[in-house]
Structure 1
Amino acid sequence: MEDRAVAWLAARRAMLDPRGARPDRVLFARKALIETAFLAGLRARLDDAPLTGDYAAILEQVEDAARQPSYREMTARDETALLLYAGTYAALRLCGRDAPEFGRVIRQAVAGGYAAAFERVPYRQLDLLHTLYLCGIEHDPSSMDAVLPFTLLCRRPNVLKLTDRDVYAVTHTLFYATDFGLREPAWPSGFCPGEGVELLEALLVLAEARANADLVGELLCCLYCLGVADSHATDRAWSFLESVQEDNGRVAGPEGILHPEAEAMEADFRHWAEGYHTTVVAALAGLLERSPRRGEPPSPPTAESVPLGPHLQRAVTWLCDASLAEDHRAGLPGVTAAALGASALRERGLARPGLAHYAAQLADAAPSFWQEQGAEVAGEFALALHQADICCPSLDAYLRATAEVVASLDDVPADAAAGVRRLVGLGVLRPGAAPAVPRQAPAVPGRAQTGGRHAFPFQDAVSLCEARESYHLGQLAATVRVLVKGGWGLHRITRDAVAFLVAQQDAEGAFGYPASDDPAARGKARYSWTRSAVVALAAAVESGPAG
């Protein structure tokens, strides 16, 4: 991968020269120049073999552009862009091509009281400190560690809330703080690098699910910087990059990487501009993968989950009370969900008043009502009544009639298997009287944490992100339930989804903030969201230690 990527970059190295760029593309060319130059600098730093072939060709192009006054003297005139020029100088220096006059201008700018002094966000401050270090400009390397506590990486961010820009802040923090794997930072108190690995692997799932090769490449590089070289995450990321690399070595960037106005650019330039950065990243991944200078991988972190019991208990209490005020069509699913939650808490008495109320209200309900409610709601309500020793004659009659129909079938469709098992569990259908029921594939508890080679479901990862962005709490809760039942309850993505969900609980115990002044709309939304949240949290409490 590295060789083909570097060959593609070298073949188009003329694009890096700002002198040949149109006025509106000069800044873009300067950015591409420093990023490609830095790749050559890291190659010289991580591999003792001399630069030859395509790497040497890139270096010659960089050196030729950087020796021109029109480039290096911009350091003194455009102080806000100091890192564009200092990074190029650092790369030349790493390659043994020091340019004393270029270095003098950079030192002068740094000492001028602004270029290295104006306010920067934390990861950009790390960029400055790292670049000055590579330029040989005196500064205290430990000052990098003083910046780390303020970075997004070390603040335990919720992965579902991170934008692409946030993810780049995380990856670049790791590049600079670890000096691309050559330095062990003094991590902030309470943070362990294993947490960083967990975060990177979760972000890799989301990046690959969205086919973003640029982020996949940067996240893979970060895992290498932390010493993680042989894991399911690195294997998947590497395979993904190989699958998207074109025959000529180019790796296309994600959709929208260029401004919409780029559509008006000539095809050759647009083709290069859309792919050069991701191709640089792919080459860097190859370089880091073969580097012998990585440290040991950190120990995995202990999964910390939000205690869910108190949240679920308050939600069950609220839902039971709210269900009593609903009509029976809306109220029955609510009280059934509350019963599921109470059962998970081993406090079935919480739901008993609601169960008794609806059992009495629906004692003479028509079979069509139960059919309308669906097998899952009717079955779970029946199970809750059975456990509470409460009788509902119309439901009992409906279940017996359903059992007779099932017994007459030659086989059971797969999508009806759960309902048939429920009938057997309720005692209304003898196991021997039922036709062959498709076997249920067992969940694999903890497979995400035991080193198994299963991949987190991409569709569910995207569903969680979309649900959070659109504030579709019902969709988010339903996806959490599926993931928990599938054995992914302790995965970072699922845990962060649960953390987001419980953060939407209000002081009364209901879930969701409708941001509406209409009382009817508010009540309907909160009732629906709370019902979904209770079902999801009940599954989470039953599956693990989070309760």
Structure 2
Amino acid sequence: MSADWPSLPAHLRTGRTRLDEEDAARRVLAGALRWIEAHLEWFAPRRWEEFLPRRPFRPGPLLELLGLVRVLDRSALLPRDAPVPSRALTLAEEAVRDADFARGLHRGDAFFPYHLNLTALLELLGRPHPALRAACEELLAADAGGHCRPYKPVLSRTELRYFIDRGGFTAPAALPGLGALYRESIAARSPDVLQLTGSETYALTHVLFYVTDFGHHRRLPDRSGAAAEVRETVRVLLGVHLARGGLDLLAELLLCDSALDDGWDDGWSDGQGDGCGHGHGSGPLRHAGWNALAAAQREDGAVPSPLHRPEVLAGLTGDKAAAYLFGTCYHTTLAAALAAAVRKPGTPATGSTQSIGGPLPRADPEEIRQWARKAAERAGTAPAAVRNAWAAHLDPLLALGVQAHDPGVLADVLRAAERLGRGDRPLVRSAAALLAAWEPGGRGARPEATRAWSV
């Protein structure tokens, strides 16, 4: 089996900041808003299309921007007459007045939910368009696009239900409420955090955005008491994408962490958890995540997406350079700003705990193996606080080893887990079973194979 480790992005090789969490989040938000204000013209569909491929839903970037404006408005972080909200609303009104928007809306096709959402956000932000709203109501009642049908993906139906509820539209009888849809979703179905793909992680984050109204309701519509499991999933994924330097998902997971924060944790726990892998707390990873965004942020305030290549930008000039920068940075910059706007102010700084066990290794096989060997060798003599800090890194590192299909890395991390007294945790046992099953000759069928890595 050959391992598959993606290349680390350039920003992961330029060092790390050591700011307090609140200072890092504040810096990210201020820089992002500064960059957005300077590049507002590029949110207009016609300006975008001068240099960038036409999008299936032409005002897509504007729709994302209005979502941010709505959260900033709700949080009283920016008045509506500030440059970003006022100009964003003007651009959005120009977009919906374009005949192309009305034609697209009346098609009632796959992009109908986004036409409805843009119409609703304009109204929520004080720019109503009654004719467009009436058309949305008629199309909903006629089941245009069949979006409410039970065979449609649950994420799509959750998204539409959220848009309908937020906009005050009449929901079709065939479309369940957010609570029922949540219980069908990936977030409520105990996802295997060791093997979640990027698209599945995006689905998870967006379900959590919608059911919490981007952190406005810091609770889940689930009476089963499984919120702790969801928070733990977010914590592990936060570590995975922090190690990979994937800033899009890192920002979205930081938003989810804030949205689920009901005061359950602000730092290290005792490291033992509840027997199901829970209880480490996201505080140190959250602190590191905000610092990672602040360190990766360009001087102009943009936060680069995984598609951004500094060497490509360096070869461009003028509007071509501006278009490339916008196209490869706008989404991540908006996501980072959203996460900072949703973040609960006054969250205690966790910088002092971050250094107890050292930073989480990057998603580099040699770096992870060195970390794992050090933890295994020193587990018997290290102070309890250090062992607990190392234990909090185990789950993200196990997920990285599994997803890279790297038996050597996985074996070393499993050995560290055993030496740290975490060998019986369910996630560790699952990773050990996968490692045994990967090996040739059917070793995975033997019960003792799950312990082979510890001898």
- Normalising by the residue count of structure 1, what TM-score does the alignment of the two structures yield? 0.59
CA-based RMSD: 3.7
| Corresponding residue number in structure 2 for 1:16 | 43
CA distance in structure 2 between the partners assigned to 1:482 and 1:528 by the alignment? 24
> Which of 1 and 2 has greater Rg?
1
CA contact (8 A) 2:308 2:329 kept: no
Q: 1:184 to 1:201 in 2, by over 3 A?
A: closer
Partner of 2:276: none
Matches within 5 A, 1:180-195: 180-183=214-217, 187-195=221-229
CA shift, 1:3, in A, is 2.6
Distance apart, 1:274 and its partner CA: 1.0
Query: Pick from 114, 121, 131: which aligns with 2:163?
Result: 131
| Superposed counterparts of 1:161-240, under 5 Å | 161-183=195-217, 187-227=221-261, 230=266, 231-240=283-292
Q: 1:502 to 1:79 in 2, by over 3 A?
A: same
Q: Does the CA-based 8 Å contact 1:171-1:222 persist in structure 2?
A: yes
Give the match's secondary structure for 1:160.
Answer: coil
How far apart are residue 530 of structure 1 and its match?
A: 7.8
- How far off is 1:447 after superposition? 6.4
- Contact between 1:37 and 1:59, CA under 8 Å: does it hold in 2? yes
| Preserved contact between residue 437 and residue 444 of structure 2 (Cα < 8 Å) | no
Aligned partner of 1:512 in structure 2 is: 437
User: Are 1:143 and 2:80 counterparts?
Assistant: no
Secondary structure of the structure 1 residue equivalent to 2:229: helix
- Say yes or no: does 1:30 pair with 2:62: no
State the 1:489 CA deviation: 5.0
Amino-acid identity (%): 23
Distance 2:252 2:132 in 1: 30
1:269, CA displacement in angstroms?
A: 1.8
Separation (CA, whole Å) in 1 of partners of 2:386 and 2:176: 39
Would the aligned equivalents of 2:106 and 2:139 in 1 still touch at CA under 8 Å? yes
Q: Which residue of 2 aligns with 1:499?
A: 430
Q: Is the 8 A contact 2:205 2:256 kept in 1?
A: yes
Match of 1:112 among 133, 138, 142: 142
Structure-2 change in CA distance of 1:190 and 1:474 (3 Å): farther
Q: Supply the distance in 2 between the matched residues of 1:191 and 1:476 (Cα, whole angstroms).
A: 32
Change (3 A) 1:105 1:235: same
CA distance in 2, matches of 1:463, 1:189: 30
Residue of structure 1 equivalent to 2:306: 254
For residue 289 of structure 1, the aligned residue among 338, 343, 348 is 343
CA deviations on 1:75-116 (whole Å, 9 max, x unpaired) are 112521012222212221221111112212222221222333
Amino acid at match of 1:148: Y
AA aligned opposite 1:244: A
Which structure has the higher relative contact order (CA within 8 Å, separation 6+)?
2
Measure, in 1, the Cα distance between the counterparts of 2:285 and 2:400. 20
Counterpart position of 1:43: 72
Aligned residues: 370
Letter in 2 for 1:465: L
Is the alpha carbon distance of 1:478 and 1:2 closer, same or farther for their aligned partners in structure 2, counting shifts above 3 Å? closer
Gaps of 5+ in 2: 1-27, 267-282, 348-372
- Distance in structure 2 (CA, Å) of the matches to 1:120 and 1:69: 29
| Aligned mates of 2:67, 2:383 — CA distance in 1 | 44
Distance 1:440 1:128, change over 3 A: closer
Matches of 1:133 and 1:245, distance apart in 2: 35
Q: Distance in 2 between the 1:241 and 1:529 partners?
A: 45
Q: Deviations over 1:381-418 (max 9, x none)?
A: xxxxxxxxxxxxxxxxxxxxxxxxxxxxxxxxxx9xx9
| 1:114–1:444 distance in 2 versus 1, CA, 3 Å | farther
Instruction: Give the conservation status (yes or no) of the 8 Å contact 2:241–2:249.
Output: yes
Instruction: Indicate the residue corresponding to 1:98 in structure 2.
Output: 128
Mapped partners of 2:444, 2:216: distance in 1: 54
Summarize the Cα distance change of 1:447–1:162 in structure 2 as closer, same or farther, 3 Å threshold.
farther
The alpha-carbon distance between structure 1 residues 462 and 226, as it changes in their structure 2 partners (threshold 3 A), is closer
Structure-2 separation of matches of 1:91 and 1:68: 17
Matched with 2:14 is none
Provide the C-alpha distance between the structure 2 equivalents of 1:218 and 1:56, rounded to a whole number of angstroms. 25
> In structure 1, what is the Cα distance between the partners aligned to 2:135 and 2:386?
56
Query: One-letter code of the match for 1:526?
Result: R
Residue of structure 2 equivalent to 1:465: 400
User: Which protein has the bigger helix share?
Assistant: 1
- CA distance 1:215–1:489, shift in 2 (3 Å): farther
Which residue of the partner structure matches residue 544 of structure 1? none
1:79 maps onto 2:134 in alignment = no
Q: Deviations over 1:37-65 (max 9, x none)?
A: 21112222232863213232222222222
The 1:132–1:187 alpha-carbon spacing in structure 2 relative to 1, beyond 3 Å, is: closer
Match of 2:393 in 1: 456
Q: Secondary structure, in 3 states, of the residue corresponding to 1:246?
A: coil
Aligned partner of 1:5 in structure 2 is 32
How far did 1:251 drift?
A: 0.1
CA distance in 1, matches of 2:83, 2:385: 48
Tell me how far apart the structure 1 counterparts of residues 378 and 206 of structure 2 sit (CA, whole Å). Answer: 48
**Residue in 1 that maps onto 2:450:** 533
Alpha-carbon distance change, 3 to 212 in structure 1, aligned in 2, over 3 angstroms: same
Q: Is the 8 A contact 2:379 2:420 kept in 1?
A: no
Q: CA deviation at 1:461?
A: 4.1
- 266 and 483 in structure 1: CA distance in 2 versus 1, 3 angstrom threshold: farther
5+ residue gaps, structure 1: 295-414, 419-437, 505-510, 515-521, 540-547
The 2-side partners of 1:105 and 1:32 are apart by: 23
What is the match of residue 543 of structure 1? none
Assess if the C-alpha contact under 8 Å between 2:194 and 2:402 holds in 1.
no
Partner Cα distance (2:66, 2:383) in 1: 47
Q: Contact (CA 8 Å) 1:214, 1:278: kept in 2 or not?
A: yes
> Is the 8 Å Cα contact of residues 241 and 250 (structure 2) preserved in structure 1?
yes
Do the aligned partners of 1:42 and 1:94 also contact (CA within 8 Å) in 2?
no
Q: CA deviation at 1:124?
A: 2.0
- SS of match in other structure, 1:36: helix
